[in-house]
């Protein structure tokens, strides 16, 4: 890999948009041929805690990155490894 002096990962598409295409594709496929694998009530009982856990995990991530004074944006250089 050639070192061209670039101090960022050179990601052209932000990570949230990388996940958007499979999400939209899944929603379109679900509309065309819906195949239920869980009853609606069970899906909601399982789903809402998972959504809440995801929100808490995202908040913890942002707080950790802020405490480390590291940028969350992927086009900015990272000053150090944050674990």
The predicted-structure confidence for 14-41, as pLDDT tens digits, reads as follows: 777 888 888 899 889 888 988 778 888 8
Tell me how many domains the chain contains.
Answer: 1
| DSSP designation for 78 | P
| 79 within domain boundaries | no
Nearest to 77 by CA among 10, 7, 5, 2: 7
pLDDT at 1: 47
More confident residue, 29 or 82: 29
Print the domain residue range for 26.
15-67
| DSSP designation for 18 | H
pLDDT at 4: 56
| 53 within domain boundaries | yes
pLDDT tens digit string along 40-80? 888 889 999 999 999 999 999 889 888 888 777 766 777 77
Helices (H) and strands (E) in the chain, counts: 2, 0
More confident residue, 42 or 3: 42
């Amino acid at each position: 890999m050639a070192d061209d002096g670039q101090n960022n990962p050179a990601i052209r598409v932000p990570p949230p948009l990388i996940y958007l295409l499979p999400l939209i594709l899944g929603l379109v496929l679900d509309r065309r041929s819906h195949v239920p694998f869980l009853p609606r009530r069970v899906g909601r009982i399982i789903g809402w805690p998972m959504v809440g856990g995801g929100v808490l995990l995202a908040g913890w991530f942002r707080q950790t990155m802020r405490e480390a004074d590291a940028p969350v944006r992927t086009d900015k250089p990272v000053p150090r490894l944050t674990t």
